[in-house]
């Protein structure tokens, strides 16, 4: 290959790809948090408007489950901001970003399945926004490194708390 076609430093392509993984995983974590928020917003609205047997579906158990998922989503959002800050500061954040990717990949699917459940049969209808969000959520635990791969990255970098 002609030297003019070389991108970056010769024999360092793998390292360039590895550096990009952190940005990709933050982007995927961001997508997952956004999906969670959208699904929760849709579902809170849906259960408050939907009638079943003449009464609103908005039951205490549903409100509490959605509230806990909202709390988990907010916690994930804060970890996302922290990871983005670490990378922006050019600090080693492989452990934290791997935590973010594993957490949000699993959380988005937990939120998706719960929200779809609360939509009942409408959750499976192609015209329902929740149906599309549920389908799209699945890949977020796989792309950019599967959850199990991310957890191994965390385990390799485990450091006891001070």
Residues with active-site annotation: 24
Which helix H or strand E contains 52, and what residues bound it?
strand 51-52
Token pair for 23: 């940005």
Among residues 145, 37, 156, which one has the least CA distance to residue 100? 145
Alpha-carbon distance of 108 to 58, in angstroms, equals: 22
- Fill in the DSSP letter of residue 10: T
CB 55 within 8 A of CB 44: no
């Amino acid at each position: 290959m002609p030297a003019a076609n070389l991108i970056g430093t010769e024999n360092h392509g793998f390292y360039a790809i590895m550096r990009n993984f952190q940005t990709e995983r933050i982007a995927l974590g961001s997508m997952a948090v956004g999906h969670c928020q959208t699904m929760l917003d849709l579902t809170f609205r849906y259960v408050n408007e939907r009638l079943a047997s003449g009464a609103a579906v908005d039951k205490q158990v549903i409100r509490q489950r959605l509230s806990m998922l909202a709390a988990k989503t907010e916690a994930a959002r804060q970890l996302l901001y922290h990871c983005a800050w670490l990378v922006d500061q050019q600090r080693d954040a492989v452990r934290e970003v791997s935590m973010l990717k594993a957490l949000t990949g699993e959380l988005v699917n937990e939120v998706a399945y719960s929200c779809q459940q609360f939509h009942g049969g409408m959750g499976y209808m192609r015209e329902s926004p929740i149906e599309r969000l549920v389908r799209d959520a699945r890949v977020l635990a796989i792309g950019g490194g599967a959850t199990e791969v991310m957890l191994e990255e965390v385990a390799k970098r485990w450091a006891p708390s001070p």
